[in-house]
Amino acid sequence: MNLIQKINKELKATTRILVASHQNPEGDAIGSALALYHHWKAEKEIQVFNEDKVPYFLSFLPGVELIKHKLTELKRNFEMVIVVDCANLSRVNDNFSKFIEGRKIINIDHHQTNSNFGMLNLVSAKASSTGEIIFELLKKSGKRLNPETAICLYTAISMDTGSFQYINTSYNSFKTATELVKLGAKPNQIARAVYHSHPPARLLLLCQVLATLKFSKDQKRADLTLSQDMYKKAQASPEMAEGFINYLTSIKGVEVAMLFRQVGKNQYKVTFRSMGKVNVARLAEELGGGGHHQASGATLNGNLEQIKRQIRVRVDNLIKRYK
């Protein structure tokens, strides 16, 4: 019996399930979690948890209003926990490990830094997204996928591949997307909701952020800065900054892009994007974070200008190493 068969056997034998995904969720985290809910909701009692608010551009996903955001809102009668798109349990919630103590844990993820914390670990760094892995799992569950599940999984795959533009996009990504369209996903409707439904405040925020653009001398490294004051001035929320870093990766010659985003007093989330040559996952790990070869991040405390100097030097040296 292979791993997918083992997980499906466990799922079929379980009645009450909790599905959880990581903090500061994006399309893969929310789409994957809701896909599991929709696939099994007719036969099982399923709760979905995410600590943070779901971004406005994912509010169209069916079932998003059912997600609980506090551990105290959850029933404690679940027998199994499925954690999706998380390299480790602390990414769900600081107290999550204690909350689920004694329960079976199924870990489904595609991060190369995954710690294999589950009883069963369906982890593949070769997959474009967790959504792509879950499709393979559900396809072999003996149940036909419904349109709601297809919409959620298509969104997950589309967003984690950058609309099928990133290097993680594979033949299987397109094949899976095709099957999901056949099952009811509507690419044009999903794209409109995710990429073309932004409030005016997002553009006002973007104007401020683009004014901070800085390059290295050889223009192979570029970065942007986003402060909490900018949010206030634009009357914007943090979720509106989703995708800002992609403006840097659209510049010819840039190998590594960075966004320095203030998340608290003297606390900054540094997001990295690589155009392919440079492995930014290793850099993020060294800084206490994690991610993928081309997309990663870490949270640092201290003076912003000192953090920038430190990170810029490390990235420039890394780029030279990959020449």
Structure tokens at 49: 């948890």
Measured CA distances, 215 to 33, 212, 220, 270, 312 (Å) = 38, 10, 7, 16, 10
The pLDDT value given to residue 169 = 94
Residue 1 has pLDDT above 80, yes or no: no
pTM score of the predicted model? 0.92
The pLDDT value given to residue 277 = 86
The pLDDT value given to residue 187 = 98
Kindly report, residue by residue over 15-54, the tens digit of the pLDDT.
999 999 999 999 999 999 999 999 999 999 999 999 999 9
Query: Strand 104-109 relative to strand 120-123: parallel, antiparallel, unpaired?
Result: parallel
Residue 101 has pLDDT above 90, yes or no: yes
Residue 314 has pLDDT above 90, yes or no: yes
One DSSP character per residue, 145-213 reads PPHHHHHHHHHHHHHHTTTTTSTT--HHHHHHHHHHHHTT--HHHHHHHHHS---HHHHHHHHHHHTT-
Question: For the chain, which domains are there?
Answer: 3-195 (3.90.1640.10), 201-321 (3.10.310.30)
Label residue 143 by pLDDT band (50, 70, 90): very high
Mean of the pLDDT values across residues 73-85? 97
